[in-house]
Amino acid sequence: MENNFNVKPKPKNAKEFFKSSYFWKPFLGITIGGLGGLLYFYFVGCSTGSCPITSSAYGSIITGSVLGLFITSSSCATCK
């Protein structure tokens, strides 16, 4: 039985790594997620301070960054 998917080879040095999707997909996911967390804190946020995630900008940014990383770091070999 043949495989119907192509797996990209891993980069061999730092220059190839920074140009590859192994670096850019998670980097953009973390950056866009952090920006989304900051915007959520700014526009929606918790005014009373009793919300554990949205009561500070740091918590919102970290939560957004982690969600962005989870979304872009798929373990699926056939996903592109």
Number of other CB atoms surrounding residue 52 within 10 Å:
10
Mean pLDDT over 59-70 rounds to 93
- Which residue did the predictor score with more confidence, 77 or 43? 43
pLDDT digits (tens, 9 = 90+) for 9-56: 777 788 887 787 778 888 999 999 999 999 999 998 887 878 887 788
Positive or negative torsion for Cα 68, 69, 73, 74: negative
pLDDT for position 25: 86
* pLDDT in the model for residue 4: 58
What pLDDT, on the 0 to 100 scale, is given for residue 5? 62
Give buried/exposed letters for 2-20 (b at 16+ CB in 10 A, else e): eeeeeeeeeeeeeeeeeee
